[in-house]
């Protein structure tokens, strides 16, 4: 079960990355954060950070790798949303 169990983690991580990364990359490229919810990204970032730390606790390299990739993109988008809000509130 060991190899298959570990493989499941990679399949899960790659599927999650394939689903969420294209939109994230596009948002980072176009810098268009109109219509994105600040609260959603705050909660999403807390979730991703928790999955990474939980992955450390479970010694799961798959959870650490794939959630870290998501966390980096989500953090960039969160930062862009905050900068955009600041610009519009001035």
* CB-nearer residue toward its own copies: 25 or 43: 43
25: Cβ contacts below 8 Å, ≥ 6 apart: 73
Residue 73: which residues within 8 A CB-CB, separation 6 or more? 20, 21, 24, 25, 28
Residue nearer to its own copies on the CB measure, 39 or 90: 39
Question: According to the binding rule CB under 8 A, does residue 11 interact with its own copies?
Answer: yes
Of 71, 54, 65, 55, the C-alpha closest to 20 is 71
Min dist. Cβ of residue 20 to its own copies (A):
9
Residue 75 in the binding site for its own copies (CB under 8 A): no
Q: Does 70 bind its own copies (CB under 8 A)?
A: no
Identify which range of 1-9, 24-32, 76-84 contacts its own copies by CB under 8 A.
1-9
| Contact characters 12-51, its own copies, x per CB under 8 A | x-xxx-xx--------------------x--xx-xxx-xx
**Rounded to whole angstroms, how far apart are CA atoms 71 and 47?**
9
Nearest to 55 by CA among 71, 40, 76: 71
């Amino acid at each position: 079960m060991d190899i298959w169990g570990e493989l499941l983690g990679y399949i899960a991580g790659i599927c999650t990355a394939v689903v969420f990364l294209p939109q994230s990359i596009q948002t980072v490229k176009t810098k268009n954060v109109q219509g994105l919810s600040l609260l959603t990204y705050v909660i999403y970032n807390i979730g991703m950070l928790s999955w990474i730390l939980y992955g450390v606790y479970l010694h799961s390299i798959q959870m650490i790798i794939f959630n870290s990739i998501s966390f980096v993109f989500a953090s960039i988008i969160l930062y862009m949303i905050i900068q955009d809000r600041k610009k519009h509130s001035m």
